[in-house]
Amino acid sequence: MSIKLRLTILSFLQFFVWGAWLITIANYWFGTKQWDGGQFGDVFATLGYSSLLMPALTGILADKWINAEKLYGALHILGGICLACIPMAESTASFFWIIFAAMMCYMPTISLSNSIAYTILKNNNEDVVKVFPPIRVWGTIGFIAAMWVTNLTGNKSSANMFYIAAFAAVVLGVYSFTLPKCPPPKLISANSSWTQKLGLDAFKLFGTTKMALFFIFSMFLGAALQLTNMYGDVYLSEFEKVPEYADSFVVKYSTIIMSISQISETLFILAIPFFLKRFGIKQVMLISMIAWVLRFGLFSYGDPEGGLWMIILSCIVYGMAFDFFNISGSLFVETTTDSKMRSSAQGLFMMMTNGVGAVLGSKISAWLISTYYTSEGGDRNWQGIWLAFAIYVLIVAVLFALFFRHKHNPKEVAEIKH
């Protein structure tokens, strides 16, 4: 089996584990368990807490003491065990702590999977810039495949979604031990300060106005990134409460409808080089924010019949909203920070979006929906919810356009590196 194929399998399974439950967990929480919406934000906040705590720790372990592929495998096996234990939770508190443990294992594997792929490709004299992106695309395909499996097997509201994810995680964990060895590079000098060893020296980037504004806006937009993952599938599923939509395709196959977002994501990746070269990083990030406004706004007015086109279009613009922010933001960090702290700066970017931003977005959105958009009978005003999210991102976009200053240099984006 070729190295490229082996890494493709790794990428596919990495995101299959996530896709099996991430989009559909709200159906399990609200529909099957019928738990309170105000506490649902805590579940998605675990992704943020884990992103704050674990990547730096596992990075140090992989850099200094443990083979990356072995650490990766152990985390997936432990995470799989935790996922299999989730259905045992009989209260929101126990559910939170079990899924938190699962995310503590899973979230650092996202960056570790990239590190493993880079190391193996370089050791085999492959062109990483050319070879890695097609491999990474299979991760998104794995996410889509998991969503389809969960929906088509009738498990979008059942505990079986966690068993599907757990099985894939354990298989991936075992499989990773068969990969070529990725020993610690030991790039960190023994004389390095503790701040350098922990990647904390990147925080001095907050001392410059442009970088400080960039990270602050990354946090604000990061708060919006998981909202449709949190509520999108349950929003479509709850159309069954409307008699005329109860038997619609959208209700029966809501997860498949949502997977259009991930399909779009794979396609918009191909458009990024053109947009970056033509418009520059600031404009591309601004386009991303406008796309998020459309994502939420179209959801607000869509329905399974006459407004189905709005739901479909919302899923299509998701690819632009997600990719244009994440990739252009990562490229901005790549081209504007010192090479000595570039990895730490990338980690800081991820911490502000997937860490601080995700926690704030999860907690505040859950409080907002529970307090202002949920009736005493438990019915949610989805139109109001999506409009509130759209207005929020529109305000962020206007402030970003006014205050963030960056001059476009086409030479910076001549080549996108993943």
Where in the sequence is the domain holding 206, given as residue range(s)? 201-418
pLDDT at 64: 64
Same-domain check for residues 220 and 125: no
In a domain, 191, yes or no: no
Q: Which among 21, 166, 48, 161 is positioned nearest to 103, based on CA atoms?
A: 48
In a domain, 93, yes or no: yes
In a domain, 195, yes or no: no
E strand segments, 33-99: none
In a domain, 190, yes or no: no
Same-domain check for residues 150 and 70: yes
Those residues of the chain that have pLDDT short of 70 are: 55-64, 128-129, 185-203, 331, 334-335, 338-347, 408-418
CATH number (domain holding residue 210): 1.20.1250.20
pLDDT at 80: 96
Give the three-state DSSP class for 374. Answer: strand
Same-domain check for residues 268 and 365: yes
pLDDT at 395: 96
How is 247-311 classified by DSSP, letter by letter? T-HHHHTHHHHHHHHHHHHHHHGGGHHHHHHHH-HHHHHHHHHHHHHHHHHHHHH--SSTTHHHH
pLDDT at 65: 75
Per-residue burial over 60-87, b = 16 or more CB atoms within 10 Å of its CB, e = otherwise: bbbbeebbbbbbbbebbbbbbbbbbbbb
pLDDT at 108: 83
Using an 8 Å Cβ cutoff, are 64 and 192 in contact?
no
Per-residue burial over 200-223, b = 16 or more CB atoms within 10 Å of its CB, e = otherwise: bbbeebeeeeebebbbbbbbbbbb
Say how many domains are in the chain.
Answer: 2
User: What whole-number distance in Å separates Cα of residue 228 and Cα of residue 311?
Assistant: 12
Same-domain check for residues 206 and 171: no
Same-domain check for residues 214 and 174: no
| DSSP letter assigned to residue 380 | B
What is the pTM (predicted TM-score) of this model? Answer: 0.76
pLDDT at 339: 57
Q: The tokens of 258 are what?
A: 């949502």
pLDDT tens figures, 54-86? 766 665 665 567 788 888 999 999 999 999 999
Same-domain check for residues 234 and 321: yes
pLDDT at 418: 39
Same-domain check for residues 276 and 226: yes
pLDDT tens figures, 110-120? 878 877 887 88
